[in-house]
Amino acid sequence: MATDDVYQEFIIELYKNPLNFGKIDNADYRAEIYNATCGDMIEIYLKVQGGAVIEAKFMGKGCAISQASASLFMGYLKGKTLDDIRKIRKEEALALLKIDLSKNPTRMKCALLPLDALRKALKS
């Protein structure tokens, strides 16, 4: 089995059984973002204590890429300080998926939806 096939199965599995899925009541940060190009929607929730993320969850609907990305991204945020998460670059977010989306800008936008939601949440 090719490496790409393994990662595609990994993404489909996260789509079917997402990690960090759900809502956080009384979240310290929350934002919803919608990709008008494809209809994907992500809503993120962060709970912060002592300047660090102690809980991160998402709700959403859309393609396997956006949902898998959100699933992994929320896990990635846990334990990081607010200063650290403000500095996250798109390359870091894309690396979590372990697939090359450089030749598919539409899918890259799907994969970056959680990062866009994070940036929006931090501004509010």
**Going from the N-terminus, what domains does the chain have, and what CATH number goes with each?**
17-123 (3.90.1010.10)
Residue 5 pLDDT: 54
Cα(108)–Cα(121) distance, integer angstroms: 20
Nearest Cα residue to 71 out of 106, 113, 108: 113
Q: Which amino acid is at 80?
A: K
Residue 8 CB coordination number (10 Å): 13
Residue 4 pLDDT: 54
Assess whether pLDDT exceeds 80 at residue 2: no
Residues 76-91 as b or e (16 or more Cβ within 10 Å = b): bbeebeeeebeebeee
Using one digit for the tens of pLDDT, what is the confidence trace for 88-105?
Answer: 999 999 999 888 888 888
Using one digit for the tens of pLDDT, what is the confidence trace for 48-84?
Answer: 999 999 999 999 999 999 999 999 999 999 999 999 9
- For residue 1, give the 3-state DSSP assignment: coil
Assess whether pLDDT exceeds 80 at residue 1: no
